[in-house]
């Protein structure tokens, strides 16, 4: 491919800034693949980076400039824009577990699970924030376990319970890391077009999209760190890092054979190619050792690195081994590392593979350097830059404020809410507080009112927490509203108020239920509080009426000139009269020997009311009505045996052979007829 025919605007320039070296790759997209045009590989002249972290910005910038100038010389084009990646060393990971109380009567839905996860991630962010300063970006998280009422469960959806829990692994990138990388690029005269993470870049290159449905662990073993990414269900679900890699082996060699770091690095590389290795130690003496001897020296370190990587993979993967492991990076060829790693993960050796550039199916590397697995990540950086819109951050407007999200993957409303620092509790309303109490010995519960769910709208369309957000989207969230607390009243627990109405001294009286709360008499519409003991009584006897409605229990009650006993059941429409006369207060003429107090009291009533009576004919029988100055038709039921409470048809009222009403006035000698007329069908 002739460089003169290439439009400089089509060039894609990517840098992989590692602990030991920097790789620069320039290419173009052709036939839907990234074609490498030229590359440059340079090592740091000094240890300006340790464990993937920039310690000397100026020194790193100088190497970047050299790589850039080398590529510009080959291309004949000035490079201005660059794509880079932050090392996994900078990622901060935390494992947290949170509990959430929920409505026991409501099925668990997606929004509830999302809020639970979001709460866990927020807690993880707080833990990481205590250990580092500055703004954090969540680059991913995965759920290790869910719990329902304290018991481990596979999925919470559609279950019911009182308490749910989630244990998550969340990974964050400090903004300060981004700033240091930008500083290096600025000193090199380059503008960052796209920023990603090295584990994501390595996964993009080494694991084809169709394989990401599987549970795969990818390990980018560099000089200072071993970066880990876990894929599952078509996405990267977890990231991690082990601060051990190729330099660990190099340092063991340097200590064992008394060499400087660079000489030890040469010995490490040579032991894979030569049987015998010659070198000069720090004392200036020439030495010769066998590769077999070197391998024995480094074997304990290889086992140590493998064990820590395996443990980290299992931790990130929810306590289990993945289906397969892919190794990339310069340290991927460390002797015995692949074999020990397979053993520690309990995987067949064929499921632990070293991936080189030849396995990156979306790239053409005919004009590339022979970098093998070392050059995989830089290809991934380029591939991600091609797929993205050319920005390391996307800006989304949330409730009128612009929120920046690190453009490392597809983002959802949940990521937006998390980055904005919104309290997850605002998204899930709670049912109002319920009240438990006892009604007539039976335990009852008045449930609080249901909450109003949060509403999420993206660009005017109703969405959910799982909905994807893109650069420039406008998101409006109306927070959930908690339900009102239960406000039970006694009247709510009276199924039917059977009031009895009767006449007491010619005044209409209603006997309603009597209510006691915790022993105190209250109205029937009184409010009930938590733990109250409610007693509802339906009085219907003379004794109960006296007990609950009359302060003077010595009052006697009479009907039809007869005293009513306490167990008399008051009927609808009864005409009852009270007599407050005590035997000790009676005139001497009524203190007749042999007569009881009850009989004398009724005789007193007769004498008092003797002038208030009329005689009428009821159903053919002569009947005397007493006790009132005036009588109406309804009064006859106090003097005849006629049960109105059990209808036997249509009641017929006749007064002097004419239809009558209940309140027609009666006079001396009137003829009254009352009877049931059966319906005719």
pLDDT in tens, 324-381: 999 998 888 888 889 999 999 999 999 999 988 888 888 888 877 777 778 888 998 9
Percent of the chain with pLDDT over 70: 89
pLDDT classification of 1: cutoffs 50, 70, 90: very low
Distance CA 488, CA 515 (A): 14
Instruction: Give the pLDDT of residue 50.
Output: 55
For residues 36 and 363, is the Cβ–Cβ distance under 8 A? yes
Secondary structure class of 422 (helix, strand, coil)? coil
Please indicate, yes or no, if residue 587 is contained in any of the structural domains: yes
Residues 6+ apart with CB under 8 A from 218: 199, 202, 203, 206, 207, 228, 229, 230, 231, 325, 326, 327, 328
Distance CA 100, CA 424 (A): 11
State the Cα torsion 659-663-668-670 to the nearest 10°.
Answer: 10
Rg (CA), the chain: 46
Last residue of a domain, one of 608, 637, 669: 608
Residues in the chain, overall count: 681
Please check whether residues 540 and 646 belong to one and the same domain: no
Q: What is the mean pLDDT of residues 274-293?
A: 91
CA 183 to chain centre: 39
Q: How many CB atoms lie within 10 A of CB 213?
A: 12
For the ranges 464-468, 601-605, 654-658, which has the lowest average pLDDT?
Answer: 601-605
Greatest distance between any 2 Cα atoms in the chain: 150
Last residue of a domain, one of 481, 514, 541: 481
Residues 6+ apart with CB under 8 A from 211: 231
Please check whether residues 422 and 498 belong to one and the same domain: no
Please indicate, yes or no, if residue 596 is contained in any of the structural domains: yes
Please check whether residues 570 and 470 belong to one and the same domain: no
Tell me which residue has tokens 């000193």. Answer: 187
> Rounded to the nearest 5°, which phi and psi values hold at 275?
-80, -40
Please check whether residues 494 and 534 belong to one and the same domain: yes
Instruction: Give the pLDDT of residue 428.
Output: 83
- Residue 533 token pair: 């003991």
Please check whether residues 453 and 510 belong to one and the same domain: no
Instruction: Give the pLDDT of residue 610.
Output: 43
Q: What is the mean pLDDT of residues 488-516?
A: 82
Within 13 Å and on the Cβ side, how many CA atoms surround 240? 25
Please check whether residues 650 and 544 belong to one and the same domain: no
Please indicate, yes or no, if residue 544 is contained in any of the structural domains: yes
Please indicate, yes or no, if residue 231 is contained in any of the structural domains: no
pLDDT tens, 421-456?
888 888 888 888 889 999 999 999 998 888 888 899
Distance CA 558, CA 601 (A): 9
Instruction: Give the pLDDT of residue 531.
Output: 93
- Residue 433 token pair: 């507080």
- Residue 200 token pair: 């994501």
Please indicate, yes or no, if residue 453 is contained in any of the structural domains: yes
- Residue 615 token pair: 């005689």
State the Cα torsion 360-363-368-371 to the nearest 10°.
Answer: -20
pLDDT classification of 648: cutoffs 50, 70, 90: confident
Sheet holding 613-618, edge to edge: 621-626, 613-618, 671-677, 650-655, 658-659
Please indicate, yes or no, if residue 570 is contained in any of the structural domains: yes
Say whether pLDDT at 323 is over 70.
yes
Distance CA 453, CA 215 (A): 35
Please check whether residues 604 and 621 belong to one and the same domain: no
Average pLDDT of the chain is 83
The Cα-based distances of 458 to 391, 396, 401, 408, 487 in angstroms read 21, 10, 14, 21, 37
Residues 6+ apart with CB under 8 A from 674: 618, 619, 636, 640, 642, 651, 652, 653, 654
Distance CA 113, CA 111 (A): 5
Distance CA 510, CA 497 (A): 11
CA-wise closest residue to 240 among 170, 298, 190, 300: 170
Q: Structurally, how many domains does the chain consist of? A: 3
Q: How many CB atoms lie within 10 A of CB 300?
A: 10
Q: What angle do CA 96, 478, 424 make, to 5 degrees?
A: 10
- Residue 416 token pair: 């937006």
Secondary structure class of 448 (helix, strand, coil)? coil
For residues 309 and 226, is the Cβ–Cβ distance under 8 A? yes
- Residue 504 token pair: 């007491």
Instruction: Give the pLDDT of residue 555.
Output: 77
Between 535 and 176, residue with greater pLDDT: 535
Helix or strand holding residue 365 (H, E) = none
Distance CA 561, CA 575 (A): 11
- Please give the full DSSP string across 247-292, using - where no structure is assigned: HHHHHHHHHHHT--HHHHHHHHHHTTT-SEEEEE-TTS-EEEEEHH
CA-wise closest residue to 318 among 230, 203, 412: 230
Buried b (16+ CB within 10 A) or exposed e, 547-574: eeeeeeeeebbbbeeebbeeebebbebb
Please check whether residues 567 and 625 belong to one and the same domain: no
Please indicate, yes or no, if residue 638 is contained in any of the structural domains: yes
Instruction: Give the pLDDT of residue 47.
Output: 57
Buried b (16+ CB within 10 A) or exposed e, 232-243: beeebbbbbbbb
Say whether pLDDT at 146 is over 60.
yes
Buried b (16+ CB within 10 A) or exposed e, 35-51: bbbbbbbeebeebbbbb
pLDDT classification of 611: cutoffs 50, 70, 90: very low
Between 131 and 50, residue with greater pLDDT: 131
- Residue 108 token pair: 């668990």
Please check whether residues 506 and 586 belong to one and the same domain: yes
Within 13 Å and on the Cβ side, how many CA atoms surround 297? 20
CATH number (domain holding residue 396): 3.10.20.30
Its domain, for residue 596, covers 490-608
Distance CA 672, CA 657 (A): 8
Please indicate, yes or no, if residue 416 is contained in any of the structural domains: yes
Residues forming beta bridges with residue 677, ordered by sequence position: 650
Distance CA 323, CA 681 (A): 84
Please check whether residues 551 and 603 belong to one and the same domain: yes
Please check whether residues 467 and 506 belong to one and the same domain: no
Within 13 Å and on the Cβ side, how many CA atoms surround 31? 5
Between 678 and 559, residue with greater pLDDT: 559
DSSP state of 426: G
Please check whether residues 544 and 643 belong to one and the same domain: no
The Cα-based distances of 305 to 67, 78, 467 in angstroms read 31, 42, 40
């Amino acid at each position: 491919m002739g460089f003169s025919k290439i439009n400089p605007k089509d060039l894609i320039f990517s840098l992989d800034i590692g602990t030991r070296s920097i790789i620069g790759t320039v290419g173009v997209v052709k036939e839907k693949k990234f074609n490498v045009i030229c590359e440059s590989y340079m090592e740091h002249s000094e240890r300006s980076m340790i464990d993937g972290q920039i310690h000397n910005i100026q020194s790193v910038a100088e190497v970047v400039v050299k790589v850039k100038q080398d590529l510009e010389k080959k291309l004949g084009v000035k490079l201005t824009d660059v794509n880079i990646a932050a090392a996994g060393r900078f990622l901060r990971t935390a494992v947290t577990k949170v509990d959430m109380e929920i409505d026991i009567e409501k099925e668990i839905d997606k929004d509830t699970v999302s809020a639970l996860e979001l709460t866990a991630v927020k807690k993880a962010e707080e833990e990481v924030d205590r250990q580092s300063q500055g703004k954090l970006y969540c680059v991913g998280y995965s759920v290790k376990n869910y719990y329902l009422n304290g018991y481990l469960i596979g999925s919470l959806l559609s279950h019911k319970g009182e308490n749910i829990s989630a244990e998550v692994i969340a990974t964050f990138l400090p903004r300060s890391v981004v700033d240091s990388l930008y500083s290096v690029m600025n000193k090199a005269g380059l503008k960052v077009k796209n920023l990603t993470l090295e584990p994501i870049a390595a996964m993009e290159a080494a694991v084809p999209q169709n394989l990401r449905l599987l549970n795969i662990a990818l390990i980018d073993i560099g000089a200072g760190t071993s970066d880990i990414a876990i894929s599952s269900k078509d996405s990267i679900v977890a990231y991690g890092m082990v601060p051990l890699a190729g330099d660990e082996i190099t340092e063991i060699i340097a200590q064992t054979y008394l060499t400087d770091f660079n000489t030890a690095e040469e010995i490490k590389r040579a032991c894979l190619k030569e049987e015998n290795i010659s070198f000069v130690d720090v004392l200036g003496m020439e030495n010769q050792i066998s590769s077999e001897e070197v391998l024995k020296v480094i074997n304990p370190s290889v086992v140590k690195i493998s064990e820590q990587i395996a443990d980290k993979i299992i931790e990130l993967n929810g306590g289990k081994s993945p289906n397969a492991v892919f190794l990339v990076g310069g340290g991927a060829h460390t002797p015995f590392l692949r074999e020990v790693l397979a053993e520690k993960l309990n995987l067949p050796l064929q499921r632990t593979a070293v991936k080189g550039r030849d396995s990156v199916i979306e790239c053409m590397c005919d004009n590339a350097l022979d970098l093998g697995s070392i050059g995989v990540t830089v290809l991934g950086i380029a591939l991600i830059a091609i797929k993205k819109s050319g920005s390391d951050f996307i800006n989304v407007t949330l409730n009128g404020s612009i929120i920046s999200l690190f453009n490392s993957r597809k983002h959802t409303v949940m990521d937006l809410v998390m980055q904005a620092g919104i309290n997850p509790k605002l998204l899930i309303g709670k049912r109002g507080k319920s009240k438990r109490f006892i009604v007539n010995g039976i335990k009852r519960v008045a449930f609080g009112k249901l909450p109003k769910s949060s509403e999420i709208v993206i660009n005017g369309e109703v969405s959910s927490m799982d909905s994807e957000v893109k650069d420039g989207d406008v998101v409006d969230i109306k927070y959930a509203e908690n339900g009102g607390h239960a406000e039970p009243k006694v009247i709510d627990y009276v199924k039917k108020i059977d009031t009895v109405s009767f006449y007491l001294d010619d005044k209409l009286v209603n006997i309603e239920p009597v209510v006691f709360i915790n022993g105190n008499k209250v109205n029937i519409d009184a409010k009930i509080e938590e733990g109250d003991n409610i007693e509802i009584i339906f009085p219907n006897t003379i004794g109960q009426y006296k007990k609950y409605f009359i302060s003077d229990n010595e009052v006697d009650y009479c009907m039809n000139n007869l005293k009513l006993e306490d167990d008399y059941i008051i009927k609808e429409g009864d005409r009852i009269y009270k007599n407050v006369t005590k035997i000790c207060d009676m005139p001497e003429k009524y203190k007749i020997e042999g007569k009881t107090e009850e009989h004398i009291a009724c005789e007193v009533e007769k004498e008092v009311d003797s002038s208030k009576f009329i005689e009428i004919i009821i159903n053919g029988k002569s009947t005397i009505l007493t006790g009132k100055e005036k009588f109406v038709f309804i009064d006859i039921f106090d003097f005849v045996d006629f049960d109105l409470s059990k209808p036997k048809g249509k009641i017929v009222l006749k007064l002097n052979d004419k239809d009558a009403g209940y309140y027609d006035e009666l006079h001396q000698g009137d003829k009254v007829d009352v009877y049931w007329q059966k319906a005719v069908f």
